[in-house]
Structure 1
Amino acid sequence: MSEEHRQDGVGEPDQLDRLWTPYRMAYIRGEERPSGTGADECPFCRIPALSDEEGLVVHRGDTAYVVLNLFPYTAGHLMVCPFRHIPDYTDTTDEEAAEVAALTKRAMTVLRSVSHAEGFNLGMNQGTAGGAGIRAHLHQHVVPRWVGDANFMPIIGHTKTLPQLLTDTRQLLAEAWG
């Protein structure tokens, strides 16, 4: 067995290759997360005061900006953030919502041109239950994707988890839509 497949004396050697991402430990430990919800503790409020290089800002608009994620899921993982310290998408003004959408489209175009992204995950995690790491400041994730980089559930398990029948979900949404 080759040395690159050993675990350096820890456990039994195996055939797995490892891709180390030690920068994610700061995220896992919550080192960059604010403890409160105020703008004075918010990294998305601090970033615009930095230089573009120091803050990893890719573009500044009138009401929102585009920044590289400090703890990316994939290379090129961007976030589109309103300058204003607001927690929820429903708190955006029409101008903010329009610019976040336009910057998201431009981010996808740019990522396709420079990295040949084959797909994207776009999302705003809202609230603790929605998976938001920083709940107090709205941000839209733009995550470039390539065939073969997905997690194990759909690839190995050939499974997608859904908590409700699609017909039931459709009915609830149609009724609420009006």
Structure 2
Amino acid sequence: MVTYLDDMVGQVVERLEKHGLIEDTVIFFTSDNGPHSEAGNDPRFFDANGSLTGIKRVLYDGGIRVPMIVQWPGKIKSGSTTSLISGAVDFMATAVDIAGDSLEVPTNGISFLPTLLGKSRQQKRHEYLYWEFYEQGSKQAIRRDKWKAVRRPMLTGPIEVYDLSNDIAEE
């Protein structure tokens, strides 16, 4: 599956290069959740999360923390990395910022374009990130810097607090 995906992304890049569009194209590659267990899939088989706890629809980092790879020739330094904490909510703000426009309606998203361009000192940051799911008895989580709280069930369950700088597995 990973090889197939890599081949398909490679074909997109080759086509962009063939038509002289690669220099004007930003490629984002990410996911909206961690591994899942549907259709007989066993995320433990390939150790999909490493030391992270949780899968899709679970609010521990194994269910919501995913990598993002971005390529933008001439703009993003190859091989650069960041520890910026962002969410899917930030993608639209970033895309609009890349286009040189602004959003007419306020959103919770923050453009991470400064980070992509290597200007992390100019990067605005979320005061916190918040998630809630109603499936499987409801749950909610909030993250602020290195601290994360998870509550199941939502509103009435006990609150688990984790220092992710010392407990990435949330155990």
Q: TM-score range by the shorter chain?
A: under 0.3
TM-score (ref. length: structure 2): 0.26
TM-score (ref. length: structure 1): 0.25
| Higher helix residue share | 1
